Chains A and B, each alone.
Chain A
Amino acid sequence: MSKQDALQGSLPLLVLKILDRRGPLHGYGITAQIEAISTLLRVEEGSLYPALHRLEECGWIRAEWTTTENKRRARVYKLTPAGGKQLLDEERRWTSIAAAIGQVLEGA
């Protein structure tokens, strides 16, 4: 699978942002975080894990197995330096697209 230049859809961007802000998290934690921040966005859980694995494949996040307080084995994801850079790029792109769409909507 080839590395993508830009992430498709907004889910990966959100995942990167959450990991950037909250530090290492497991998949369920990411879902919970997104739901906690925004009542509007609901993560399609079925698409979260393939997205996480794709991000891992691209080298933007790294995963390792840890044990949580209640003795469960969890896979915890962490942003890599490359992922941090990708996040900046994505954010910039997102903002500029949002701005552009906003302009069009206002102008119409």
Chain B
Amino acid sequence: MSWISRIANAVRPGRAAAGLDDELQFHLDERIDDLIRGGVPRHEAEILARRQLGNRLSLRESSYDVKSAAWLDSLLRDFSFGLRMHAKRRTASLAAIASLALAIGACTAAFTLIDALIFRPLPLPAPGQLINLARMMPAFLSADNQPSESDSFSYPQYELLRDTAREHADLFAMRLSAGLQPVLFDDAAGASENVRAEAISGQGFEILGVKPAFGRLIQPADDSVTGGHPVAVLSYAFWSHRFGASPSAIGRWVTVDRTQFQIVGIAAGPFGGVQPGYLTDVWLPLSVAIDPRQLADPDRGSVGVWGRLNAGATPSQMRDPLQAVLTNFLRDRVRINPPRNLHGAQLQQFTDAPLHIRDASTGRDSLFRLQFLRPLGILSLICALLLLVACSNVANLMIARASARNAEMALRMSLGAARSRLIQQMLMESAQLAAAACALGLLLAALIVPSIVVRLGPTEFPAWLDAGPGSRTLAFAVALSLLTALLFGVVPALRASSVSPGYALKAGGTQNSGRMGSLRWMLAAQVGFSVAVLFLSGLLLLSFRKLIAVDLGFARDNVVLFDLAPRNPESHRTDSGAKLLEYVRHLPAVEAASLAQQRPMGGAMVWIMTPIIRFSGRANETVRPIEVPVSEGFFRAMRIRCIAGRDFLSEEIAGHSPAVIVNQAFADKFLHGRNPIGETFDKIDDGPDPVPQQIVGVVANFRYNNLREPGGPSIYTPLRDAAGATLSIRTASRSASLVPWLRAEIETAAPALTVRGSILLASQIDNTMIGERLLALLAGFFSVAALLLAGVGLYGVVNYATVRRTREIGIRIALGARRAAVVRLIVGGAAMPVVTGIALGMGAGLGLARYLASQLFGVKAADFWSLAVPLACMLIAAAAAVLPPALRAADADPLIALRCE
């Protein structure tokens, strides 16, 4: 008999039983006929035949076991029995499902985000074959003095690498964009939009394996320095939200950097670029989009090199030949055009920097990915703890529920039920809870994920993650639910099935001593996990509070920032700054205006200059402060306190003055109490014959680049050129509404400039805290959830234990115990596990806090407040959970309590 018929027989037991009955009936009839033929009277024959066949029911049972899948049959019985049990204790079951769903939903959401950002391969065919080239650059070439990978190559280098690698891999070039740029669509009536436009080789889409959804993609013929086609391809996601997925987008024109491109197609489906976190909106042909002179420059890194390994090829086969041609090329270049900033051995380290062939199956590590790696890791850690809270909570509930069924279990055992059978039945009940929680959790995750994705990026620079529910999310949630079912199901199942059969026979078997036993440990675990969640969340919240309240050293409100760029990229440096400032300062509503080379609070997006300087008269000593070129009036506009000396003069901006201003940190660290005003130093990078720089002023320290670090020793040099700088305008009133008008005024005053972007300083500061803000938000949510779960769990267990001791308490009261003593009895019973749990949770929290350290600001794990806040919260929650059942017990009427049998 096949498995299918067995399963069918298990699902529909009636059919198999009917067949058996027919067969046995036939046997009886034949036997009776034989007996009658042998001379036995009919009614005796019937009795005799029956007796010979034996117990028909047990016969049917044993044959039935053969004919149907017994295990399935018992599972089905357990399933319907489990449902009945849940229906009977509806409130408790719903509470269990809700808390599990919350935790599973949170974990699934965290997994979905991390998977989409980090682990999920690009939605391309055979992503494992994708590679990306990079060089390990020596430490002296980077601003932070750490060796770093550079994946930028000049176009001639790329061509060389492509031709060398041909045997093993198809390479192509892409110019990825670090930010958004304004473009103009021909249906937008002259209003520019900020999009991420990236350039790709003609072969790029074919090598990646991207297919067009509409029209065509960029082809080799489009990508040619001589006679390429100015075409553009849109990503599906951008096309959907910008053009409402209308095919009429094809044929439209878009102006990027004053070149017009015609939209010829839409890239299919989920492919949104190679940097998870960022959506590439528009793709352009590389050699049309990049200026031909820049493209031809053999020394200027302008493209990234990507590719796909041929079937069977490995990166190690091609590394050596690629390294050789690249090093030879660089050695030639260094000979022809020696770089000014490298000397001696540094030159060789630069030309011989090792080439890495990186696995690009999950795309490139964008700044976004690096930025959110740790926050999302912390988020998963807290989610996992929350899941443990929920699991121990539900385990407690199951234990309590199972204890109430001790008599039933004992009866079943004494009737011959195997222990494994009882365990199976208990686990079935757990699995039902987990399954319901899994479904709800998936729903919850699907709701949470998009709202978190929105918060991952600043509004003007949105994050894009392909974080839709997929098979990976589903598999994770199901696996997690199975795991939780085991986690919270095994202990109660073992405990319930270990009851002795004799138990049922004892009088008053339902009134056990009421000791909590292993419940005590589960309770401690639950409190412990909750405290760990509270503690870690508390750290994140306290840290965020410190961060938003940090003293910046300047006034952040009513300042708007405009990034300026030359309208013509070929134009030479101008002294446009002074004129522009003069104009802007005379506009109504403008209080102050100034220029700075770098956007304030630019965070990791900003290039920091760290020149090496040498003080006059101290030949052997060099120091490396941060240099920020600013215009005169900068400190006044930002409301930064001037401590000594003066600001730059407008002549110093216009002419080429050797005046510098330093901050307090610079004076403290390098000048050792000498009067800074009048001190002079050289900037070594300025060539062999530098002009000595003279300090003319000292300003207070302020945080320029980043909220977390106090401005280190810095020098401020006069900024001459508005192009490429950031214009800060302080307005008299709220600035947001003035932005479009100011922007128009700036472009009128300086026709050679264009405004690339604008943002309120306050928003810019907020944008540097996105990760922290998100974590704080979720941490707050998780602490409330953990407290709630701990409180509900504690209440449930104490209440259960108290109810079971009703008789004992009744006797105590009847014998003259005071109310206070009864309350003390109940509270004392719960105190031990709660205190143990708090201690364990704090210990675990302190251990785990090390993982959070890089995200924390101004808070240490062992601080008073970090420890006191979660402790107090937990104690209050515990008191709120334990006191009501204790007071109820103390109020019990001894007569009723004694009669409750």
Residues of A within 8 A of B (CB): 1, 26-28, 31-32, 44-46, 49-50, 53-54, 56-57, 70, 72-75
Contact = CB atoms under 8 A, between A and B. Distances in A.
Given A28-B27, A73-B26, 11 more contacts: A1-B66, A26-B30, A27-B26, A45-B53, A45-B54, A46-B59, A50-B66, A53-B63, A56-B1, A57-B1, A70-B33
Interface in B438-454: none
A9 to B, nearest CB: 14
A49 B63 contact: yes
A50 B26 contact: no
B66 A54 contact: yes
Contacts of A73: 22, 26
Contact of A45 (B27, B29, B58, B67): B27
A85 to B, nearest CB: 19
A74 B19 CA distance: 10
A75 B21 CA distance: 11
Interface of A is mostly: helix
16 contacts: A1-B66, A27-B26, A27-B27, A28-B26, A45-B52, A45-B53, A46-B53, A46-B54, A46-B58, A49-B59, A53-B66, A70-B33, A72-B29, A73-B22, A74-B23, A75-B22
Contact of B67 (A44, A53, A74, A75): A53
A53 B33 CA distance: 25
B620 interface: no
B31 A28 contact: yes
Contacts of B54: 44-46
Interface string B392-436: 000000000000000000000000000000000000000000000
A75 B66 contact: no
B24 interface: yes
A69 to B, nearest CB: 12
A93 B20 CA distance: 32
Contacts of A1: 66
Interface in B1-28: 1, 19-20, 22-24, 26-27
A42 to B, nearest CB: 10
B36 to A, nearest CB: 13
Contacts of A56: 1
Nearest to B26: A74
B62 interface: yes
B49 to A, nearest CB: 9
B695 to A, nearest CB: 91
B75 to A, nearest CB: 16
Contacts of A50: 59, 62-63, 66
Contacts of A44: 54
Interface of B: 1, 19-20, 22-24, 26-27, 29-31, 33-34, 52-55, 58-59, 62-63, 66-67
Nearest to A63: B23
Contacts of B59: 46, 49-50
A27 B22 CA distance: 12
A87 B284 CA distance: 79
Nearest to A59: B1
A49 B55 contact: no
Nearest to B28: A28
Contacts of A26: 26, 30
Contacts of A54: 66
A41 to B, nearest CB: 15
Contact of A49 (B24, B33, B34): B24
Given A56-B1, A57-B1, A49 B23 contact: yes
Contacts of B63: 49-50, 53
Nearest to B22: A73
Nearest to A26: B26
Nearest to B49: A45
A72 B66 CA distance: 25
Closest 5 CB pairs of A and B: A46-B54, A28-B30, A53-B66, A50-B62, A28-B27
A5 B20 CA distance: 26
Contacts of B27: 27-28, 31, 45, 49
A26 B22 CA distance: 12
B889 to A, nearest CB: 53
Nearest to A44: B54
Considering residues B29, B30, B54, which has the most beta carbons from chain A within 10 angstroms of its beta carbon?
B30
Contacts of A31: 27
Contacts of A49: 20, 23-24, 27, 59, 63
A70 B29 CA distance: 11
Nearest to B33: A70
A57 B33 CA distance: 30
A56 B19 CA distance: 14
B25 to A, nearest CB: 9
A44 B58 CA distance: 14
Considering residues A32, A45, A75, which has the most beta carbons from chain B within 10 angstroms of its beta carbon?
A45
Nearest to A53: B66
A72 B26 contact: yes
Contacts of B34: 32
Contacts of B26: 26-28, 72-75
A26 B55 CA distance: 20
Nearest to B60: A49
B66 A27 contact: no
Contacts of A27: 23, 26-27
A57 to B, nearest CB: 6
Contact of A75 (B1, B23, B58): B23
A70 B54 CA distance: 25
A75 B22 CA distance: 9
Contacts of B20: 49
A29 to B, nearest CB: 8
A26 B577 CA distance: 109
A95 B617 CA distance: 115
Contacts of A28: 26-27, 30-31
A21 to B, nearest CB: 20
A60 to B, nearest CB: 12
